[in-house]
Amino acid sequence: MASFDIVSKVELQTLDNAINIAKKEIDNRFDFKGTHVLLELNKKDMTINIEVDSDMKLNQLEDIMLTKAMRQGLEANCFDLSKTPNASGKYIRKTVPVKNGLDKEMAKKIVKLIKDSGLKVQAAIMDDTIRVTGKKIDDLQDVIKLCNGANLDVPLQYQNMKA
């Protein structure tokens, strides 16, 4: 039986490198000179704290952060940018959670997608990973294509392919 695991993990070191590169670019950009800009990664909670003094700068900072993360190999949908920023005092603060691991609802959704496809494979949820087993490697590759084309709003990685 061939098998592989479906996971959704963001490597902390890669994320830290992307944030540090974004900080360097912000230090060098002319439109951020002399303004209050805070971009820091909370490694324990896997969140990114942003603090700026205008909405325009917030949008620019998010764009820089996404660009640098994608250049480091991270997917853009690993950041949950849907939260609204808090305006307190003269600064705008926003906490951006980083999606790390598959939650139960998403895992069930992926397993249902695989079972409804009619492929001859079995999918089982194991903590925050999904183990997919089948007799043919071609069926497992079809599962990977199916998951990649499903627009699931989480970055997926495929590990431990065993024939």
- Nearest-10 Cα torsion for 99, 101, 107, 110: 70
pLDDT of residue 154: 87
Confidence of residue 28 (pLDDT cuts 50, 70, 90): very high
Q: 2: Cβ–Cβ under 8 A, 6 or more apart, which residues?
A: 133, 134, 135, 136, 137, 140, 161, 162, 163
Q: What does residue 150 show for φ and ψ, rounded to 5 degrees?
A: -90, -5
pLDDT of residue 101: 86
pLDDT digits (tens, 9 = 90+) for 66-78: 999 999 999 988 9
Residue that has been written with the tokens 């704290």 in this structure: 49
Paired with 86 in beta bridges are 93
User: Which CATH entry fits the domain spanning 12-97: 3.30.70.1150, 3.30.70.990, 3.40.50.2020, 3.40.190.10?
Assistant: 3.30.70.990
pLDDT digits (tens, 9 = 90+) for 104-144: 999 999 999 999 988 899 999 998 899 999 998 999 999 99
Confidence of residue 88 (pLDDT cuts 50, 70, 90): confident
Q: Please return the burial class of 49, using the count of CB atoms within 10 Å of its CB with bins 0-12, 13-18 and 19+.
A: middle
Check: CB of residue 94 under 8 Å from CB of residue 86: yes
Q: 55: Cβ–Cβ under 8 A, 6 or more apart, which residues?
A: 85, 92
Domain spans, the chain:
2-8+101-162, 12-97
Q: 2-8+101-162 and 12-97 share one CATH topology?
A: yes
- Nearest-10 Cα torsion for 101, 107, 110, 112: 180
Q: What percent of the chain has pLDDT over 90?
A: 63
User: Which CATH entry fits the domain spanning 2-8+101-162: 3.90.920.20, 1.10.10.10, 3.30.70.860, 3.40.50.150?
Assistant: 3.30.70.860
